[in-house]
Structure formats: C-alpha cells, structure tokens
C-alpha cells in the first residue's frame, strides 16, 4: 500500500494502478487537522479526496503523536473520523514503542493499545486494525498478537518497526514477525507498517507478512536516492539507469540533474515505486512456483544484515517446519551447509534419527550406485533383498535410508552430495555410537548368494508411509502380500495394491502417496482421527460425492495435519466419506472461516474406483 500524503500527492493513485497498486494508505490525522482537506473528505469521502477508487486504509496519527507529543484528538474521535470519511480500513491511536523502550514501558504500551482497540471496535462497519506492539521483546509481541486476536481484530499491523528497518536490524524484525505471526489469528492479514524496501520484502513474506505500506518511494526521491532490488543508490554516484527502470530510456543521469527539483522527485519516485512493485511481482511468482525460500536464501547474500536475518530464520526452523507443506513442486536447491537447516531437511533428519536409533548393522551405499536408473537391475537391490541390515547412502550433510531415495527432498535436490571426507566423518560418528558399519562393496560378495529375506519394493513403500503418516504405519498399511507396481518407462513405483484393490499411487514429482478411497479407509483404521477432519452433516452429503471440504463446515480436526498431506474426511458419526489433501497445516485449520480446507480426490460415491482410474 503506497502511502499517499493528502497534502502533497507526488504520483497520482490512478497512475499507480499501472504498476498493479490495488490499495493505498493515507493519514486521517493530517486530513482532520487541515480544514480544507477535512471539509472535502467529510463531504466527498476519502476516496475522492485522494483520487482512488480501490481500498483505502487510513492511519491515525500514532507516529505524529510519538514524534511531536500528544495529538489534539482522542482515540475515539480519530477512529470515528475515519469512519465518517469512508475509510475501508481504519487504525486506532495506538502507542508507538521504540526499540530502546524498557520492557515495562513496552508492556504498558501493549496493554493501552489493546484497551484502545476494545474502546473503539464496535463503532460502525469499518474494518478496524489492531496494531501489534511490543518493541523488541519476543514475549510482548506474542502477548500483543494474542490480545488483538482474542479481541477480534480482523486486520493486524505490526507497529514500531520503522526504526529497525531504517537501521538494518533485520534479524530483530525476524523475531518480531515470527512471534507475531505464530501467536495471531491466521485468518487475519498481517501488515508490516513502514516496510518499503525490496531488500526485506521477500523475507517478510516468507515469514507470514501479507501487506506492506511505505512512503519510501517519495522520501528517497526527495533526497535523489534510487531504490534497487539490493539496496539504495545516490543519483550522484551512478552513471546510468538500469534497463528495467521506467526512466531508463527517458533521461540520462545528467539530464535528471537538470530537471526542476519537483519534477526530478516525481521521476525518481516513479522509478522507486516501480522497483518495489517489480520485487512484489517476483515474490508472487516465487510463491506460485513454490520456491520463495530458496529465493530468499539466495537474496540474503546481498547484504550482511540480510544474511544475519536469514540465520535468525534458521534458528526458528523447527517452529516454522510445523507450517511447511509436505513437499514443493520446485527442486530443493542446496547452496551450502546452511541449506541443511531448511525446515524440510529438519523434518527428514528428525525422522531418520527416530527410525535409525535401533539400527546396529549399517551398510553404506556409495553415491554412484544410488544414481542407477533401473533399481531392479542394480547391485543395491540384489544385495538389499538378501540382507536384514540398514542401507544408507550419503546425501547432503547426513546419511539417508535408500528406501527414501525418490522422496522429497532427497531425489529433488539440485546441488550437493557428501564428499569422501564428509562421508568418512559420518561413518566414524556411527562407529563411535557402537554401530557396525560396512561399505556395500565389502558385503556384496558374501551376500550375493544368500537367500532373499525381504523385498526392496515393499520396504520402500512402507518407509515412505512411515515418513508420510507416522512411524509404524507402513507395515499395517501395506502388509505382506501387497503388490507394488513400477512404471515400465521410469522404473519408479507407480501404485500399491492389496487384495485386488489399489490402496495408493505414488506422486512422481515428490515421491509421496496419493490414497485411493480404500487407502483412506485403511489409514483411518490404523490412525483413527489422526490425519483427519470431521465435518457437519450438510458438508458430508457433498463431500461423499467428491466435492471439496470448506473450512466453515469443519467441526473437529487433527492439529498435527501437514499441509499438502493426505487427509481423511469424517461425517458426524465418524464414518469416512472422502479423502484428499489438506491445503494448510492442522495448526491453521481452526482459524479460517472461508475457502477450501481439503481438496478431495476421492469421495465414497464419486465415480470410478481407484482400480479403474489407474
């Protein structure tokens, strides 16, 4: 939301629409204290005043109050004024907290801001934002976010962060955003007040920020400073404008200096706004491609303060992992050792640690053998089936079971395999734990003529099921006698059947299962209400026919559901009516009141059976 100064509009909101601007913010305090602006706003409304027919948010004068002392209006008066001029989103007169404030002072500001929200929240239909304050104290940000959410705020701006943004204290901002987002109502948009530089926008979105506002495009322009994706440059220190800039083919740098100051400010402001929305467009594209994390990881190297902030994100990796999808449609990019702290890797590492704790005999499969394209002809398969040992292969900074070689993120990596020194260190660590460790080539000859003890195909689907649904699930879901079918063209597992019924197909892009209705029933029998949502009777009557599940019809749910994972749908009697994929994590489901919660793939009465569909 670009900030519009009603006293001095540098770029018209109508012109801004060409860049994709769909909402703006202006200051109700400035409007009210100017008699001409106040009269026009009361008569015609704030939209006509600034010339914008889209959503308009108004600020209350909090920053002016903080800088200049108390303003001449009360909280109730300024909120009522915002309603009277037709603001779509209004703001209370909250208490701005400085990074230097003591914990006691910051807590008082949080509680007074909350009191003011309660005082004003029932005065009319305007959406009233509930600012999250708390200075740099994580506990106060959590406290403020909870207070505002419990008070029913539909819109949550994070305030008091401009001093941190201006001083490049991005790592403090990471803590503030994470503590605010994870303790706020997930259905309420999270707005970062004053964030207007492309450097930090992607990182903010990754952490849960939905909306920004800033006057940076004008403020920098007045000082002849140009915004770039990776920083800000002074006009006097550049030779030419970048090709992407809207002023590139209109002016040289020398010609820009010769412009009237007001015109120069306008042109540089247009460049700056273009740079901001170019970054927002890139962020949207990265969200669609599901590779925002790796975009942020790469961009973090642009500035030491950003990289320090990225390391702070990694400190929160385990907290974030609970909200991550089970897989991404994009490859997993491995840059360096820090990539191993990605939430998806943390999830994998935790699973491997749990299932390997009782593995006393381990066989290490060298990298070159793991790349063989036809597993049924490989040495790995031949020896594996004649052994009862745990087979691991080097991947990134640790060793992974061969059964997970095609499962996200193992097979989808672009980047790194363990070198000889790293592999030796991993093997030495296992030996120090008292494990018996051998290389595949050391056991191949002695096992090649031994009788078969197990089947790699069956063990692979069981391991994937354990990883996807919980340890111990695989053996029960795919008992002895299950039939594993592989693709003739790729040799990858395609489906698993039992008793003539297909239970699951394996998704080629990430190596996880999509369950048939029969597979969903089996999961329900094994896990009970885990991996499930319960819905109202009206919803169940539609879901049974294959229609999606909407949030508002969910009556109960498993809080540990993983976004993108298979989820069973139960009617009020506990009977399964459908199976599909959760769109969000179980920790988020209870917050949303609209939209699709589960994309149903099979309803009990929805057309062909899974056997026929395959």
The tokens describing 184, both together, are 């706020």
Which pLDDT value is given to residue 67? 59
Q: What is the mean pLDDT of residues 80-99?
A: 94
| Full 3-state SS string of 119-182 | HHCCCCCCEEECCECCCCCHHHHHHHHHHHHHCCCCCEEECCCHHHHHCCCHHHHHHHHHHHHC
Among all chains, which residue has been given the structure tokens 């948009």?
189
Q: What is the mean pLDDT of residues 30-37?
A: 94
Judged by DSSP in three states, 106 sits in helix
234 is known as an active-site residue = no
Continuous segment of H or E residues that includes residue 364: strand 361-364
| Cα dihedral 572, 574, 576, 578 sign | positive
Confidence of residue 422 (pLDDT cuts 50, 70, 90): confident
Main-chain phi, psi angles of 179, to 5 degrees: -65, -30
Distance CA 119, CA 130 (A): 12
Which pLDDT value is given to residue 321? 87
User: What is the average pLDDT score of the chain?
Assistant: 91
Burial class (CB in 10 A: 0-12, 13-18, 19+), 374: exposed
Distance CA 44, CA 38 (A): 10
The tokens describing 165, both together, are 């943004």
**Residues 286, 288, 290, CA angle at the centre, nearest 5°?**
65
The tokens describing 318, both together, are 């385990």
Catalytic residue (choose from 14, 44, 59, 319): 59
Does 265 have pLDDT greater than 50?
Answer: yes
Does 367 have pLDDT greater than 70?
Answer: no
Does 369 have pLDDT greater than 70?
Answer: no
Domains and CATH numbers, the chain: 3-310 (3.20.20.105), 332-454 (3.40.50), 476-613 (2.30.130.10)
- From the list 525, 510, 597, 518, the residue with the least C-alpha distance to 561 is 597
Beta bridge partners of 393: 400
- Tell me the pairing of strands 549-550 and 596-603: antiparallel
Which pLDDT value is given to residue 608? 43
Q: What is the mean pLDDT of residues 503-524?
A: 96
Report which DSSP code applies to 366: P
Report which DSSP code applies to 456: H
Judge whether 549 and 597 are in contact, CB under 8 Å: yes
Interval 540-550: pLDDT, tens? 999 999 999 99
Which pLDDT value is given to residue 69? 60
Distance CA 560, CA 578 (A): 19
Which pLDDT value is given to residue 368? 53
Confidence of residue 282 (pLDDT cuts 50, 70, 90): very high
The tokens describing 69, both together, are 């002392």
Interval 353-362: pLDDT, tens? 888 888 889 9
Q: pTM score > 0.85 for this model?
A: yes
Does 318 have pLDDT greater than 90?
Answer: no
The tokens describing 590, both together, are 């209870």
Beta bridge partners of 515: 504
Does 40 have pLDDT greater than 70?
Answer: yes
Does 377 have pLDDT greater than 70?
Answer: no
Does 611 have pLDDT greater than 80?
Answer: no
Interval 48-76: pLDDT, tens? 999 999 999 999 987 666 555 666 789 99
Burial class (CB in 10 A: 0-12, 13-18, 19+), 128: buried
């Amino acid at each position: 939301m670009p900030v519009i100064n009603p006293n001095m509009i540098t770029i018209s909101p109508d012109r801004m629409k060409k860049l994709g601007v769909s909402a703006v913010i202006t200051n109700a305090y400035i409007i009210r204290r100017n008699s001409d602006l106040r009269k026009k706003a009361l008569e015609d409304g704030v939209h006509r005043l600034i010339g914008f027919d889209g959503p308009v948010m108004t600020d209350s004068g909090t920053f002016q109050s903080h800088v200049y002392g108390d303003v001449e209006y009360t909280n109730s008066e300024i909120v009522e004024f915002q309603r009277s001029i037709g603001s779509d989103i209004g703001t209370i007169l909250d208490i701005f907290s400085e990074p230097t404030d003591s914990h006691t002072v910051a807590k008082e500001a949080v509680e007074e801001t909350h009191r003011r929200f309660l005082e004003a929240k029932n005065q009319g239909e305007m959406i009233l934002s509930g600012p999250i304050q708390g200075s740099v104290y994580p506990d106060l940000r959590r406290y403020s976010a909870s207070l505002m959410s419990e008070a029913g705020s539909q819109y949550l701006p994070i305030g008091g962060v401009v001093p941190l943004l201006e001083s490049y204290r991005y790592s403090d901002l990471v803590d503030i955003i994470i503590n605010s987002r994870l303790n706020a109502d997930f259905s309420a948009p999270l707005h970062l007040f004053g964030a207007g530089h492309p450097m930090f926008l992607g990182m903010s979105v990754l952490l849960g920020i939905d909306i920004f506002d800033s006057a940076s495009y004008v403020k920098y322009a007045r000082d002849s400073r140009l915004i770039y994706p990776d920083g800000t440059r002074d006009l006097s220190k550049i030779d030419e404008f970048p090709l992407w800039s809207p002023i590139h083919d209109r002016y040289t740098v020398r010609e820009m200096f010769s412009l009237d100051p007001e015109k120069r400010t306008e042109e540089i402001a247009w460049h700056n706004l273009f740079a901001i929305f170019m970054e927002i467009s890139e962020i949207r594209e990265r969200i669609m491609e599901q590779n925002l994390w790796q975009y942020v990881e790469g961009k973090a190297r642009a500035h030491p303060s950003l990289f320090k902030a990225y390391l702070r994100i990694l400190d929160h990796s385990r907290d974030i992992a609970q909200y991550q999808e089970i897989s991404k449609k994009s490859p997993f990019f491995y840059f360096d050792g820090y990539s191993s702290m990605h939430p998806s890797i943390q999830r994998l590492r935790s699973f491997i640690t749990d299932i390997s704790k009782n593995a006393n005999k381990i066989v290490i499969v060298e990298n070159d053998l793991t790349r063989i394209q036809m597993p049924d002809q490989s040495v790995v398969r031949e020896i594996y089936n004649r052994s009862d040992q745990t087979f691991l292969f080097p991947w990134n900074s640790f060793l992974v079971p061969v059964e997970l070689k095609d499962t996200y993120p193992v097979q989808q990596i672009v980047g790194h395999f363990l070198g000889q020194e790293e592999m030796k260190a991993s093997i030495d660590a296992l030996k120090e734990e008292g494990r018996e460790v051998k290389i595949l080539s050391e056991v191949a000859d002695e096992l090649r003529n031994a009788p078969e003890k197990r089947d790699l195909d069956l063990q692979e689907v069981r391991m994937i099921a354990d990883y996807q649904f919980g340890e111990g699930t695989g053996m029960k879901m795919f008992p002895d006698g299950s039939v594993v079918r592989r693709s003739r063209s790729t040799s990858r597992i395609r489906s698993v059947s039992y008793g003539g019924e297909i239970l699951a197909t394996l998704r080629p892009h990430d190596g996880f299962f999509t369950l048939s209705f029969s597979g969903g029933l089996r999961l329900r029998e094994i896990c009970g209400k885990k991996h499930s949502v319960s819905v109202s009777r009206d919803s169940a009557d539609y879901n049974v026919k294959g229609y999606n599940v909407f949030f508002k019809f969910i009556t109960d749910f498993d809080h540990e559901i993983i976004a993108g994972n298979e989820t069973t749908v139960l009617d009020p009697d506990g009977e399964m009516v459908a199976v599909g994929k959760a769109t969000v994590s179980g920790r988020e489901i209870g917050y949303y009141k609209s939209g699709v919660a589960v994309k149903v793939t099979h309803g009990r009465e929805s057309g062909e059976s899974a056997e026929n569909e395959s």
